[in-house]
Amino acid sequence: DQQVKQNSPSLSVQEGRISILNCDYTNSMFDYFLWYKKYPAEGPTFLISISSIKDKNEDGRFTVFLNKSAKHLSLHIVPSQPGDSAVYFCAATYTGANSKLTFGKGITLSVRP
Amino acid sequence: EAGVAQSPRYKIIEKRQSVAFWCNPISGHATLYWYQQILGQGPKLLIQFQNNGVVDDSQLPKDRFSAERLKGVDSTLKIQPAKLEDSAVYLCASSLGGVSTEAFFGQGTRLTVV
C-alpha cells in the first residue's frame, strides 16, 4: 500500500520554464512533507519542506504548495535550469514518537537547454 | 561539517554469501536510519535507531538482515545469506531527531547479488 504517490515517472521541460512536480498522499496522519533531490550515484539531498499548518513555502526558485483537503502537494521550480535535472522524491511524516519518512517512487526531471 | 559516510560504495556478491555495510553519521545526530532503494522505487526504511536503541525495525527482514549501532554512533547493516532480490542501494541517513528535522543521507552502497 503506497502512502505517498508520485504518479508521473518523468518530466521534461525547457530551460527557463516552470517545472511542476506532483505528489499525492493517502495517510491523513501525515503533517510534514519534504522534497529530496537525487543525482546519479549520490544520496538524496534535502531540498525544501512544508508543515501542514502552511499551504505554501518558498525558498529561492523552489516553492512547495500543500492542499490538505486534496492530500496533494506540488513542487514548483521557476525558472528551471539544466542543473535541476535529477530525480525528485516526495516524502511525508507525522508528528509523534518514532516518526519516520515515507517516500514516493520519485520523478525524473530533465531540463533541456 | 562532514556528511554521512558510508562504505563500501559498491559490492558484488554471490547469492547465499554474506555482506556488511558501515555507516558513520553526522557528529551529534542521535537518529540513524538504514534505507533500501530498489531500482525504480523510493527509499524504504529498514531500521531506525535513536542513539543505540532500535525504535523501528518493522520492515527489516530479520531472518537475514541485522543491524547494530554500538555506542550510539557508527552502525553496521548485515545481510546473511543474501538473495538476488536484495540487489539495491543501501542508504544510511542521520538526523538530529524530531519530525521537523530533515534527514541527511550518505552516498549509499550499491549491492549487486549474482
Q: Which residues of chain B have a CB within 8 Å of the CB of A48?
A: none
The pLDDT of residue B51:
87
CB-closest option in B44, B91, B102 to A43: B91
β-bridge partners, A92:
A33, A102
- Assign residue A58 a region (left: φ > 0; alpha: ψ between -120 and 50; beta: otherwise): beta
CB count in 10 Å sphere of residue A47: 19
Q: Which cell is B18 given?
A: 554474506
Q: Are B81 and B64 in contact (CB under 8 A)?
A: yes
Which tens digit of pLDDT belongs to each residue from A7-65? 999 999 999 999 999 999 999 999 999 999 999 989 999 999 999 999 999 999 999 99
CB < 8 Å to B56, chain A = 98, 100
pLDDT (mean) for B25-29: 92
Closest CB from B45, B50, B106 relative to A43: B106
Which residues on A lie below 8 Å from B8 (Cβ)? none
Q: Which of B73, B74, B67 is nearest to B19 (CA)?
A: B67
- pLDDT-derived band at B100 (thresholds 50, 70, 90) equals low
Cis peptide before A82 (omega within 30 of 0): no
Higher per-residue pLDDT: A100 or A113? A113
- Residue B73 CA to residue B58 CA, distance in Å, equals 21
Q: State the residue for C-alpha cell 545481510.
A: B79
User: Cα torsion at B75, B35, A43, B94 (round to 10°)?
Assistant: -50
What are the E-state strand segments in chain A?
4-5, 10-14, 19-25, 32-38, 45-51, 56-59, 62-67, 72-77, 86-93, 102-103, 107-112
Please indicate whether, in this complex, the C-beta atoms of B99 and A41 are within 8 angstroms of each other.
no
Residues of chain B neighbouring A100 (CB-CB closer than 8 A): 33, 45, 48, 56
Give me the residue from A6, A101, A106 closest to B103, CB to CB.
A101
Is pLDDT above 60 for B99? Answer: no
Residue corresponding to grid cell 543491524: B67
